[in-house]
């Protein structure tokens, strides 16, 4: 299926976020089998030749377009090499989906974390993956093995460093399974913990997650002094990691998605269109990536109605069409009902807000989730220790 010209299909198995950790594991001598996907399409085995320790820092919201637009504020990031050019985030381009795609090495259709908020099929309730505790059981909801598990089984010391508050969450237990999760209490602590973890064994794989840039973008906008100041803080943190790299270590910097500001005139208020609620039993997803769950027998009518009302504000397709398009990668039959009967991905700078259902998210300044180039393009940057240069 052909997507609209302004939306792109993620490059799974060629140049996507799913290919980063498998490539890092391959560089450490522990290639990961991923079905039909190649073990190292990014060529990290060659790019990191000789590395015995690899650190991967994911900066939430650090889109490749944003780095290029603000290279003067991020000289360290701008100076790092790009072994494979831009990568693409998965679909939807949102944090829970991206983190699980990174750590499993699989497209979303293979691991099952298919949105920020999705339905729990057959139970008439939703799961917000950022507020997930232990229901559903993380081991059941996301059953795919992680790259961390496979690397650890090969004798590699695996550490995941992220916010202390996320320790033990459902998303942490699912996405970071197999890694020793170490909670950080701030960016400086994250840097120190990642450095320490690089010395945890003769071969080490260390992952770090930095959240503040994304939060600043959502609240203040990416075209704001606050966001630019936060980018400078990120650049300083990366400089500390680069300066402290052991001789046989490499640092990879990537992101989970880009981000764009959404002005008031491109916010489509779903609550103001009561016809869109006809035949709908549940609305999930987020403002730029909506899943619409129809009442039994109303699927076709709901699809036609949403297409007619939204027009060119969104790409609106049925579930089967969305799956056939390849935007989620191959979707396991057991996971497909987590998607809505109708999928609506925002085009341009539109956001499909619902202040009644989501008062907080509907007031944000910037969003992501869809498949525009700005949302999909993420960096892959590399720094090498002196022994690898």
pLDDT digits (tens, 9 = 90+) for 115-172: 999 999 999 899 999 999 999 999 999 999 999 999 999 999 999 999 999 999 999 9
Q: Is 161 exposed, middle or buried (0-12, 13-18, 19+ CB in 10 A)?
A: buried
Residue 274 host element (H or E): none
60: pLDDT strictly greater than 70: yes
Nearest by Cα to 343 from 368, 359, 320: 320
Q: Model confidence over 182-206: pLDDT tens digits?
A: 999 999 999 999 999 999 999 999 9
Structure tokens at 204: 């080490």
Residue 271 makes CB contacts below 8 A (sequence gap 6+) with: 354, 355, 356, 357
Cα–Cα distance for residue pair 76/84, rounded to 1 Å: 18
Structure tokens at 165: 């508050």
- Name the DSSP class of 81: B
State how beta strands 377-378 and 87-88 pair.
antiparallel
Cα–Cα distance for residue pair 19/24, rounded to 1 Å: 9
Mean pLDDT over 37-46 rounds to: 96
| pLDDT score at 2 | 86
| pLDDT score at 389 | 66
| pLDDT score at 387 | 87
Mean pLDDT over 267-289 rounds to: 97
> 0.95 exceeded by the pTM?
yes
Cα–Cα distance for residue pair 78/75, rounded to 1 Å: 5
52: pLDDT strictly greater than 70: yes
Residue whose entry in the numeric block shows the structure tokens 């309730």: 125
337: pLDDT strictly greater than 90: yes
Q: Model confidence over 245-277: pLDDT tens digits?
A: 999 999 999 999 999 999 999 999 999 999 999
Mean pLDDT of the chain: 97
1: pLDDT strictly greater than 80: no
Cα–Cα distance for residue pair 216/175, rounded to 1 Å: 24
351: pLDDT strictly greater than 90: yes
Mean pLDDT over 70-87 rounds to: 96
Cα–Cα distance for residue pair 209/211, rounded to 1 Å: 6
Q: Starting at the edge strand that comes first in sequence, how are the strands of the sheet with 157-163 ordered?
A: 180-184, 157-163, 204-210, 53-59, 249-255, 381-384
DSSP-based three-state secondary structure for 255: strand
Mean pLDDT over 309-317 rounds to: 98
């Amino acid at each position: 299926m052909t997507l609209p010209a302004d939306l792109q299909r993620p490059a799974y198995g060629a140049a996507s976020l799913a290919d980063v950790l498998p490539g890092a594991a391959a560089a450490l001598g522990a290639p990961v089998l991923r079905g039909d996907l190649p073990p190292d399409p990014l060529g990290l085995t060659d790019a990191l030749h000789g590395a015995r320790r690899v650190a991967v820092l994911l900066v939430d919201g650090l889109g490749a377009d944003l780095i290029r637009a603000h290279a003067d504020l991020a000289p360290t990031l701008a100076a790092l090499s790009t072994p494979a050019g831009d990568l693409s985030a998965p679909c939807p381009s949102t944090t829970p989906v991206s983190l699980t795609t990174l750590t499993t090495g699989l497209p979303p259709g293979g691991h099952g974390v298919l949105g920020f908020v999705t339905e729990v099929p057959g139970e008439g309730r939703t799961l917000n993956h950022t507020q997930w505790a232990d229901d559903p059981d993380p081991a059941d909801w996301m059953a795919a093995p992680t790259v961390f598990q496979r690397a650890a089984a090969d004798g590699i010391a695996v550490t995941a460093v992220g916010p202390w508050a996320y320790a033990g969450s459902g998303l942490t237990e699912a996405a970071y399974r197999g890694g020793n999760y170490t909670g950080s209490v701030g960016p400086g602590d994250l840097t120190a913990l990642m450095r320490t973890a690089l010395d945890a064994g003769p071969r080490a794989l260390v992952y770090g997650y930095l959240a503040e840039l994304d939060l600043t973008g959502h609240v203040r906008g990416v075209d704001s002094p606050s966001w630019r100041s936060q980018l400078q803080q990120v650049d300083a943190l990366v400089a500390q990691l680069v300066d402290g790299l052991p001789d046989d270590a490499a640092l990879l910097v990537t992101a989970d998605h880009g981000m764009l500001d959404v002005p008031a005139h491109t916010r489509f208020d779903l609550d103001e269109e009561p016809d869109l609620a006809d035949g709908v039993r549940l609305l999930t997803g987020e403002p730029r990536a909506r899943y619409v769950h129809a009442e039994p027998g109303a699927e076709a009518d709901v699809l036609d109605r949403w297409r007619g009302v939204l027009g060119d504000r969104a790409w609106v397709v049925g579930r089967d069409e969305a799956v056939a398009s390849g935007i989620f990668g191959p979707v396991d039959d057991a996971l497909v009902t987590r998607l809505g009967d109708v999928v609506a991905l925002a085009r341009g700078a539109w956001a499909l807000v619902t202040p009644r259902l989501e008062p907080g998210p509907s007031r944000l300044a910037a969003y992501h989730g869809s498949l525009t180039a700005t949302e999909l393009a993420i960096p892959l940057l590399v720094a090498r220790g002196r022994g690898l240069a």
